[in-house]
Amino acid sequence: MTSFRARRRTLRALAASFLLAAGSLASTGAFAQSDYPNRAIRMVVPFAPGGTTDIFARILAEHMGTILGQQVIVDNKPGAGGNTGAAGVARSEPDGYTILMGTVGTQAINPFLYTKMPYDAEKDFLPVAFAAGVPNVLEVNPKNVKATTVKELIAEAKAAKQPMTMASSGNGTSIHLSGEMFQQMTGVKFVHVPYKGSGPMVNDLVGGQVDLSFDNLPSSIAQIRAGNLRPIAVTSAERSAALPDVPTIAESGVPGFDASSWFAIFAPAGTPKAIVDKLNAAANKSLGEAAVKQRYAEVGAQMNVMTPDQLGAFVKAEQAKWSKVVKESGAKLD
């Protein structure tokens, strides 16, 4: 009997220790969330410096860091149309200290374009906050291309002895697929030249190594204003306030053409809701600041404040849209 009672006391003591440890872990986790952030946050940009994704990441990182009280460091990880950087974030600890500046490419195009994906765009990420929406701009090097309108460009491309070269920021990006859509709808044929981001692509376009691009407006607008690139048309359904005199492709003789880009913040799946909400609040507050509004206006960006749930629904709609574009283009990448 004495032995039985002793064993029972031992079991009770072990159970109490287990409950105490579990409670301690739970309270530690809760404290970690309430204390967040207590060190620098890394915002991964899956493209090279100087491109549109990088531009918005740096604008928001600066202001979010001030709001959160910790530095938000931009880390460029280009490669595979954005897949390399995005995959790295997907494998990161879901603690809010590694986040992704995702794009329409990484979250809505690549899953249907690449036969082998290093991440699941739906299961491996949580939507955090919408960053920006931008039109793409069909632009040409004025020394290489004579055309000033869409109709003239189509005629010049079809008459050219050698196919014109079409640069993009990477395979499967909205810049690439905007060009693919244009070729499908007009019957012209370009030679696609992918880069690891808009920055190096724009440099070569200005230098004349390539002929044209369907670049995101923010990364090209300075060169357009300087006269180094000629804008032919924007890819959105409506004209851009930043280039009000530049027509849309749809109104230039290709009815129904509409292809815009967007950028948003994502966190690894499993990130606590309290941390996601704190990041969302910081991003949305940043978008309301006068300096950010002015910078967005300068580069022709559109703001759209969203909750994480609203962003999730938006991404699903974009995936449905772009999956059709990829399928109809017949494009596939390994």
Task: Identify whether residues 139 and 248 lie together within a single domain.
Answer: yes
Calculate the alpha carbon distances from 20 to 7, 17, 24, 164 in Å: 20, 5, 6, 70
Closest CA to 318 of 119, 99, 105: 105
Task: Identify whether residues 241 and 278 lie together within a single domain.
Answer: no
Domain boundary among 252, 284, 319: 252
Cα angle, residue 25 at apex, residues 23 and 29 outer, rounded to 5°: 115
Looking at residue 33, what is its pLDDT? 63
- What is the count of structural domains for the chain? 2
pLDDT in tens, 271-327: 999 999 999 999 999 999 999 999 999 988 999 999 999 999 999 999 998 898 888
Please name every residue paired with 213 in a beta bridge, in sequence order, or none if there are none. 139, 167
Looking at residue 257, what is its pLDDT? 93
Q: 161-194 as b/e, with b when 16 or more CB fall inside 10 Å?
A: eeebbbbbbbbbbbbbbbbbbbbeebebebebbb
Looking at residue 13, what is its pLDDT? 54
Task: Identify whether residues 142 and 247 lie together within a single domain.
Answer: yes
Residue 32 domain flag: no
Domain that holds residue 159: 135-252
pLDDT in tens, 182-220: 999 999 999 999 998 889 999 999 999 999 999 999 999
260 pLDDT band (50/70/90 cuts)? Answer: confident
User: How high does pLDDT run on average in the chain?
Assistant: 91
pLDDT > 90 in the chain, percent: 76
Domain boundary among 222, 252, 282: 252
Q: Does pLDDT of 89 surpass 70?
A: yes
Residue 193 domain flag: yes
Q: 271-283 as b/e, with b when 16 or more CB fall inside 10 Å?
A: bbeebbebbbebb
